[in-house]
Structure 1
Amino acid sequence: MTIQLEALLQAVEADKARLDAARPLPPHTVASLREKLALEWTYHSNAIEGNTLTLRETKVVLEGITVGGKSLREHFEATNHRDAILYVEEIVSQGESLSEWMIRNIHRLVLKGIDDQEAGAYRRENVVISGASTTPPDFLHLPQEMQQLIEWDQAAKTLHPIERAAQLHTRFVKIHPFVDGNGRTARLLLNFELMKSGYPPAIIRKEDRLTYYDSLDEACDGGNFDGITELVASAVQRSLEVYLSVLGLGNASRSGGASV
């Protein structure tokens, strides 16, 4: 771990400690913050994958309004992602551990009404990832690869929660177990891992897409997770700043190393 990343993680921990010290938070404040972050999470995660709904359009779609000129798929991507977030929040509140069943359920929600045949089903063919340096494993190896992912997660408890979440995300992306919807599912798993450790969700922004893809490629190809961990830590810090600002506890601890 670089000195820069270590300093960033320490700054995040300081901000999280300030937020934890303010608990229990006012219920209406919590509800409004959850709604704000869920909207931004949905917008950015879909935009990274090419969805053309704006943030405001995403908001009205989630309110049940159809946006003219946008495809039915783009509408489904917004409402499905909202439903998947609700599911992740539910399993976090229940203290569930990562499982293949859970991953399939998240993916099933992501592709609901878009491709019901593939929703929740591991791919039955080989694929390549455009622009990536690595090739996902043969589809015949997916059951073994996914089982190893679960075993890795169970054995990785000594890692910092943000490191573990970033690595889980990356390892899932490298396996690429589904024909479609892997990116959204991976970011939902990232935040499942963070939220169960008491962190707010990390929102990977559309404008950081190139940095995000580069850091994923570096981790998948060379095994260096520092870049993706830094990007995730910076995203967590932004979410913490939103909480602290709304609570009147601004001036969150910024690390000089945060660059994304």
Structure 2
Amino acid sequence: MDSSLHALLHTIDADKAKLDVARPLPLNTLGSLRDALMLELTYHSNAIEGNTLSLHETKVVLEGIAVGGKLLREHIAVTNHRDAILYVEDIVGSDEGLSESQIRHIHARVLKGIDDKEAGQYRRENAVISGASTTPPDFSLLPAEMDALIGWHASATDTHPVARAAELHTRFAKIHPFSDGNGRTGRLLLNLELMKSGYPPAVIRQEERLAYYEALDRACVTGEYSIITRLVAEALERTLAAYLDLLGRRD
């Protein structure tokens, strides 16, 4: 880990400490922050995957209103992502260790009503990721690969939580265990890991899509996670700054 990334993680931890001092947050403040993050996480994660709903349209759909001229699939993707975030929050509150069952249940919520046959099920055929430099493992190896992922996670306790979250996301992306919905599921796993460690979620923006894919690809090829960790850390620092600004504790 280079010195600049180490310094960024130090800044993040200092900001998290300021946030921890302010806890428990005022209910109205907590509610407004949660609603804003729910919207941003849902909009950006879906937009990265090609969903054409705008930020405003996503907000409207979350409020239960249909948007004319948009696909039903795009509407469902919005409400599914919200439900998946709520499930992630439940996991955080239960203080459970990471499991394959959790990952399958997150994915099941992502694809519910879109592809119920595949929701929560590992792919049953081989896959190629467009634009990627690596090929996902043979589908027959997925149970062993996912078991190894859980084993790695259980052993990575000495890794900085932000670096561990970025690496978990990358390792999951490289396995590509599902036929669809891997990106959204992977970003939810990323934030599950951050939130379990007491950090707020990191919003990877759709404007960062190219840099994000390039960072993921590089990490999958080389096994070196500094670039993807930096991207995640910068996204997390934006969230922390928004929290501290609202609380008047940025200085």
Structure 2 length-normalised TM:
0.99
Q: What is the identity, as a one-letter code, of the residue corresponding to 2:227?
A: G
Report what 2:111 is aligned to: 111
Shift of 1:143: 0.2
Moved over 3 A (4+): none
Q: Secondary structure at the match of 1:30?
A: helix
2:85 maps to: 85
Aligned-residue offset at 1:249: 1.5
Q: Give the unaligned 5+ runs of structure 2.
A: none
Determine the structure 1 residue equivalent to 2:184.
184
Q: Which position in structure 1 is the counterpart of 2:243?
A: 243
2:33 pairs with 1:33: yes
State the distance in 1 between where 2:16 and 2:183 align.
27
Q: Take 2:124 and 2:49, find their aligned partners in 1: how far apart are those partners?
A: 22
In 1, Cα distance between the equivalents of 2:208 and 2:231? 9
Q: Which residue of 2 aligns with 1:74?
A: 74
Q: What one-letter code is carried by the residue in structure 2 that aligns with 1:206? A: Q
Alpha-carbon distance in structure 2 between the residues aligned to 1:67 and 1:250? 38
Deviates more, 1:135-144 or 1:19-28: 19-28
3-state SS in 1 of match to 2:127: coil
Deviation per residue, 1:184-238 (Å, 9 max, x gap): 0000000000000000001000001111001101100011100000000111100
Tell me the amino acid that sits aligned with residue 191 of structure 2.
N
Q: 1:147 aligns to what?
A: 147
Q: Distance in 2 between matches of 1:101 and 1:19?
A: 31
2:34 alignment partner, SS class = helix
- 1:200-239 correspondence to structure 2 within 5 Å: 200-239=200-239
Distance 2:228 2:170 in 1: 8
Distance in 2 of aligned mates of 1:242 and 1:150: 32
Cα distance in 1 between the residues matched to 2:86 and 2:211 = 28
Q: Distance in 1 between matches of 2:90 and 2:23?
A: 20
Say which SS state the counterpart of residue 158 (structure 2) adopts: coil
Q: In the aligned structure 1, how far is the partner of 2:132 from the partner of 2:8?
A: 27
Give the SS at the match of 1:201.
coil
Name the aligned partner's letter for residue 203 of structure 1: V
User: Residues of 2 paired with 1:227 and 1:37: CA distance?
Assistant: 24
Whole-angstrom CA distance in 2 between matches of 1:5 and 1:66: 43
How far does residue 97 in structure 1 lie from its aligned partner after superposition? Answer: 1.0
Q: Does residue 1:101 correspond to 2:98, yes or no?
A: no
> Does residue 1:3 correspond to 2:9, yes or no?
no
Of residues 154-163 and 20-29 in structure 1, the stretch that sits farther from structure 2 once superposed is: 20-29
What amino acid does structure 2 have at the position aligned with 1:14? A
Work out the CA distance in 2 between the residues paired with 1:97 and 1:191: 14
Deviations 1:137-175, CA, capped at 9 Å, x for gaps: 000000000000000000001000000000000000000
Q: Which amino acid aligns with 2:33?
A: L
**Structure 1: distance between partners of 2:32 and 2:100:** 32
Amino acid at match of 1:31: G
Letter in 2 for 1:47: A
Task: Report how many residues are paired.
Answer: 251
- SS of the residue corresponding to residue 64 of structure 1 reads coil
SS of residue matched to 2:73:
helix
SS at the partner of 1:220? Answer: helix
State the partner residue of 1:171: 171
Paired letter, 1:20: D
Name the structure 2 match of 1:256. none
CA distance in 1 between counterparts of 2:198 and 2:25 reads 13
What is the aligned partner in structure 2 of residue 197 from structure 1? 197
Q: Which residue of 1 aligns with 2:157?
A: 157
Q: Which amino acid aligns with 2:15?
A: D
Using the size of structure 1 for normalisation, the TM-score is 0.96
Q: Which position in structure 2 is the counterpart of 1:137?
A: 137
For 1:45 and 1:24, how far apart are their aligned partners in 2? 28
Structure 1 window deviating more from structure 2 (160-169 vs 17-26): it is: 17-26
Pairwise CA distance, 1:250:
2.6
Q: Percent identity?
A: 67
Consecutive unaligned residues in structure 1, runs of 5 or more:
252-260
